[in-house]
Every structure is written in structure tokens, then in C-alpha cells.
Amino acid sequence: MENIEKKCFKIDNFHFEEANVSLPIQVGYETYGKLNSEKNNTIMLCHYFTGNSHAAGKYAPTDAAPGWWDAIIGPGKAIDTDKFFVICADSICNINFNNPKVYTTGPGTINPKTGKPYAMDFPIFTLNDVVKSHKMLLDNLGISSLKAVIGPSMGGLQSFIWGKYYPDVVQKVVSVFATPMMRPWTLMVPNQLAIDSITLDPDWNGGNYYGGKVPNTGLLLAFKVLLMATRTDEWAELNFGRRIVEDGPSPYKSLDGKFLVQHEVEKIVLGRMQFFDPNGFLYIAKANTLFDLRSGNESLKDALSAIKAPTLMVIDESDLLFTRGQAEEALKYLPKAEMHCYNSHNGHLSCIFETGYFGEKLKSFLG
């Protein structure tokens, strides 16, 4: 694909439903492919927890790597940009706040009323708020119909929200490694444990660390919790076993000694978290814990019955967060749904790095 451009959509007065607060916000987004004259060939792509709207292509040929789903977005690929116009937009409060290519409003944004970062004065938001902001982006672009909404992980949760609340807009729903329920275990692991990791760091300072020492110790632990929850025992055994880091003290003789799995997981995390804002992590994790497709006294059956669009759930049997059992429970109530299931043995993150398991199925489903 040609060089990708990051764009920005501004909303002068966005209302956060549960918080009952209105603020000016902006949302970064990217597009791939061309919008046809009828404006009816659009796919909305929703990103995962630590992702952003850079889903495919490169900003410049010299970029080290393309966007996170470049393997399946592009001409002739599963999400075929010769056919479809693809939009990927940042979540509110994107975790990658310190990335210069992320424009989306969050707790690190300057509050125009105080001239200081919002910090913990930023309203708690839900994934429903995220979807509403993206619907406003579509309205601004004059797009009233979507061929499909697709997302992995947290993006898959948003796909279900789109299907329920905008049935006249969405023609197909695709959820990759996400089910329409957030079980209590997943609420805790990794989300609440990650929140606790950050807030227990003394440098967090009630969220008011901007301009001072950043609570990177807590952020590091939060991200390690997240990474291990999204992998598996088989992944760790195959890649690291019980090998010991050779150029350091022995873990049998010192608390500072490390097994290879400890060393490598920390290295992976440190390579990714340079752009993360700890408060952004808190807010995104909180939004995940609050996800519930049921409204008020609705049963799961009532909530899922509202999704009229044909739905595809892609499930990895090794995923610890969203399981095959949960998907099978949802299938009973979704009017037009199917499941594509496999076992990568590598866990939840397989949805980003091992798209070969489901690319052809996705392409067939989109038609």
C-alpha cells in the first residue's frame, strides 16, 4: 500500500454516557483502500487493548514494521482493499498516548479549563462510548452503512456493541478472540490486577505524575501481568523452559537471579511500553472490566438476540481470556452466527501474530 496518513477527527462536545460528563475530544484514525461513490463498501476495524489505529501499511518506507494486521489488510488479502474501504480509529484514551502518531484524548491531555493534564479528572468511559465516538466519525464522513465491523480482542467486544446498537448500519459482525461477555475471572486477570499494579506504585501519586517521575515500575508489572495472561504454559515451555539467564546471578542463590522466561518477558514489555501512559492503561483496563452487552435487566439471550447481522466468532482453544465454552454459550442466542475454532497453543496474542489460522475463513465470510 501507499504511505499511510494519520488523520484526526474532532468532536467539540462529546458526552460520556455513564460518567454524564461532556468534553471536547479528538480521535485519530487511518483509512485503507478507496471509498466508492455510493459510500457502501466500508469496513470498520476496532483495535485491541494495547493497539492503536495503525493497523496496516507504513507511514514511510523506512518504518521498521507495518501496522499490526498488515498480514490480512491490503490488496487481495483477507480484508481486501481492492474491494473495501477500511477505517481504523483509536479508542478514547488510547494507551499509546506518548506515541506522536496517536492523537486521541485521554488523561494526559491538557484540560482547557485548567491548563493542566486531566489526570484522574478524566471521566471513566466505557466501550460503548468508544463505539459512539466512531459512529460520529462515520457520520462526519457521510457513511451510513458498513459491510462489516471487525476487531480482535477488545476490538471484538466493540464489534458486538456495533451489532447490537446499530443493526441498521452493520451488515456483518466479526469478533476475533472475544466473546460477548466479560467473565469475572477476566475482569480480574489481567485487568484489575494491572490497575492495582500501577496504583500501588508510590510514583503514581494519585495519577498526578505528569511533569514528574512516571510510575514505570507499576506499569512494567501491569504489562507483564497482561502479557502472561495473553500467552500460555505451552508457549512459555516451548520458548524458554526452565533455562536460566547465563550472564547474571543464579536464581538459586539470589533474588536478583532470573530464569530466561522472566528476562525475555521483561524485554518484550520494555520494548513496547515506551509510548504507554500509565493512566491510559488504567482507563482502558477499567473500560474492559465494565464491558457488558446486557443493558439494565436484560438477559444475555435478550442482548444477543438484538444482533441481527450474520456474526463470525474466531476462537483459539488455547485462549485463557475468551474461551470456546463462552463462544458456544453465545452461539445459542445469536440469530445468525458461526464459530471458526482452532488451537495455536500460543494463547490470546495469536490473534495478532498468527493470522494464517483464520485469514481464509475471514475472507470467505466477508465475501
Helix boundaries (H) for the chain: 127-141, 154-165, 184-186, 193-199, 216-229, 233-239, 260-272, 278-289, 300-305, 324-331, 350-353, 359-366
Interior/surface letters 3-12, b for 16+ CB within 10 angstroms, e for the rest = ebebeebebe
Residue 1, pLDDT > 80, answer no
Answer yes or no: are the C-beta atoms of 148 and 172 closer than 8 Å. yes
Residue 118, pLDDT > 80, answer yes
Q: Tell me: the pLDDT tens digits for 305-330? A: 999 999 999 999 999 999 999 999 99
Task: Indicate the pTM of the whole model.
Answer: 0.97
For residue 345 the three cell numbers come to 497453543
Q: Is position 319 annotated as part of the catalytic site?
A: yes
Answer yes or no: are the C-beta atoms of 237 and 213 closer than 8 Å. no
CATH 3.40.50.1820 domain position(s) in the chain = 7-183+291-366
Give the separation between CA 262 and CA 64, rounded to whole angstroms: 26
Single out the catalytic residue among 53, 319, 340, 350: 319
Other CB atoms within 10 A of residue 84 CB:
21
Residue 282, pLDDT > 80, answer yes
What percent of the chain shows pLDDT beyond 70?
100
Q: Is position 305 annotated as part of the catalytic site?
A: no
Single out the catalytic residue among 153, 159, 175, 318: 153
Q: What is the CATH number of domain 7-183+291-366?
A: 3.40.50.1820
CATH 1.10.1740.110 domain position(s) in the chain = 188-285
The strand pairing partners of 151, in sequence order, are 175
Question: Strand 73-74 and strand 7-16: pairing?
Answer: unpaired
Interior/surface letters 216-240, b for 16+ CB within 10 angstroms, e for the rest = bbbbbbbbbbbbbbbbbeebbeeee
Residue 347, pLDDT > 80, answer yes
> Which band of pLDDT confidence, cut at 50, 70 and 90, is reported for residue 269?
very high
* pLDDT of the residue at 315: 98
* pLDDT of the residue at 138: 98
Q: Among residues 78, 165, 138, which one has the least CA distance to residue 340?
A: 78
Which has more confidence, 107 or 2?
107
CA angle 132, 133, 139 (to 5 degrees): 90
> Would you list the DSSP string of 30-93?
EEES---TTS--EEEEE--TT--S--SS-SSTT-SS--TTGGGEETTSSEETTT-EEEEEPPTT
Q: What is the CATH number of domain 188-285?
A: 1.10.1740.110
Q: If DSSP codes are grouped into helix, strand and coil, which group holds residue 355?
A: helix
* Distances, alpha carbon 52 to alpha carbons 19, 90, 181, 256, in Å: 24, 5, 23, 35
Residue 239, pLDDT > 90, answer yes
Q: Among residues 181, 160, 158, 186, which one has the least CA distance to residue 319?
A: 186
Residue 295, pLDDT > 80, answer yes
What percent of the chain shows pLDDT beyond 90?
99
> Which band of pLDDT confidence, cut at 50, 70 and 90, is reported for residue 2?
confident
Average pLDDT, the chain: 97
* Distances, alpha carbon 22 to alpha carbons 19, 109, 244, in Å: 9, 15, 52
* pLDDT of the residue at 97: 97
Q: Tell me: the pLDDT tens digits for 149-201? A: 999 999 999 999 999 999 999 999 999 999 999 999 999 999 999 999 999 99
Answer yes or no: are the C-beta atoms of 326 and 177 closer than 8 Å. no
Answer yes or no: are the C-beta atoms of 190 and 95 closer than 8 Å. no
> Which band of pLDDT confidence, cut at 50, 70 and 90, is reported for residue 66?
very high
* Residue 257 backbone phi and psi in degrees, to 5: -70, 145
